[in-house]
Amino acid sequence: MELHLFEDNIAAGQEVTFADTVARAIYVTAGKISSDGQDIACDDGLVADGPVTLVAGSEGASLWRWDLSDADHQVSTHRVAHKLSGSVPDALAISESFLRLDSVAFPPAGTAMLHTHQGPGVRCLREGNVRIDTEGSSTSYGPGGAWFEGGPEPVFLQAVEDIPSRFIRAMVLPKTLLGKSSIHYVNEEDRNKPKSQSYRNFGEIGLAL
């Protein structure tokens, strides 16, 4: 099973239905959408475990959409681009797991000290610029840049010095972490140090297998 990240652009007033999937997370990057009569503004998100019908607002809407499924595409009636996919191990592709959508923000020059997670996820940078060091390589990302972290591989993040940085993330995690942080610091001396990142949780939903 894979976690796929798509970018959707929906015209003003257009209604779009996304098909059934194991779990889904949607983050609004521009404009506004409504779902089941609920308005979801720019910089907000939702999670769902079945088909979702959205209606774009009067100025249209742009979305980042994470689908956890075995398929990487479906017939669409709007502009859509497949940005990235990452594999979810069989041990987590079970009904005892859940999908979390959240935001991770850093002040200028902020860092995420060397760490791992208990599940895989796809991140997409909303603002700023970050450098990711993992498995002997360094990669920098600007707004709209997406990357996958498998979970057990140690990662270090360095944010750019002059402006804040923030990414949006969808992760598959074991249910023991519902409402809890998934991060584990590799070096014991880092665990009690002040942390520069802050979080905003948009939602969590169990996998509908």
* pLDDT at 112 (0 to 100): 97
pLDDT at res. 51: 93
- 120 part of a folded domain: yes
- Last residue in a domain, options 87, 116, 133: 87
Whole-number Å distance between alpha carbons of 3 and 15: 24
74 with 124, same domain? no
Verify that 120 and 45 share a domain, yes or no. Answer: no
Distances (CA, A) of 196 to 28, 66, 164, 190, 209: 25, 26, 11, 12, 37
77 and 102: one domain? no
Distance (Å) of CA 118 to CA 37, 91, 178, 185: 35, 11, 12, 12
**pLDDT tens, per residue, the chain with 209 residues:** 999 999 999 999 999 999 999 999 999 999 999 998 899 999 999 999 989 999 999 999 999 999 999 865 666 778 899 999 999 999 999 999 999 999 999 999 999 999 999 999 999 999 999 999 999 999 999 999 999 999 999 999 999 999 999 999 999 999 999 999 999 999 999 999 999 999 999 999 999 87
The total domain count for the chain is 2
Residue at a domain's end among 38, 65, 87: 87
pLDDT value for 78: 85
Q: Write out the residue range of the structural domain in which residue 114 sits.
A: 97-206
Distance of CA 14 to the CA centre of its chain: 24
52 and 119 co-located in one domain: no
The pLDDT assigned to 70 comes to 80
In a domain, 63, yes or no: yes
Question: Based on the domain organization, do 103 and 73 belong to the same domain?
Answer: no
User: Can you tell me whether residue 13 is helix, strand or coil?
Assistant: coil
Pick from 40, 65, 87: which residue ends a domain?
A: 87
**What's the CATH code of the domain at 105?**
2.60.120.10
Name every residue whose Cβ is closer than 8 Å to that of residue 152 and which is 6 or more positions away in sequence.
116, 117
Same domain, residue pair 103 and 190 = yes
162 exposed, middle or buried (CB, 10 Å; 0-12, 13-18, 19+)?
A: exposed
Claim to verify: residue 121 and residue 167 sit in the same structural domain: yes
Q: Is 45 exposed, middle or buried (0-12, 13-18, 19+ CB in 10 A)?
A: buried
* 92 within a domain of the structure (yes/no): no
Same domain, 56 and 104: no
| Residues 202 and 101 placed together within one structural domain of the fold | yes
CA distance 98 to 123: 16
Phi then psi for residue 176, to 5 deg, are: -65, -15
Q: What is the pTM of this model?
A: 0.94
Q: Give residue 74's pLDDT.
A: 63
Whole-number pLDDT of residue 77: 75
Nearest to 164 by CA among 103, 107, 111: 107
With contact defined as beta carbons under 8 Å apart, do 99 and 170 qualify? yes
- Is 30 a member of any domain? yes
Examine the domain organization and report whether 199 and 161 are in the same domain. yes
Q: Are residues 139 and 56 in the same domain?
A: no
Same domain, 39 and 61: yes
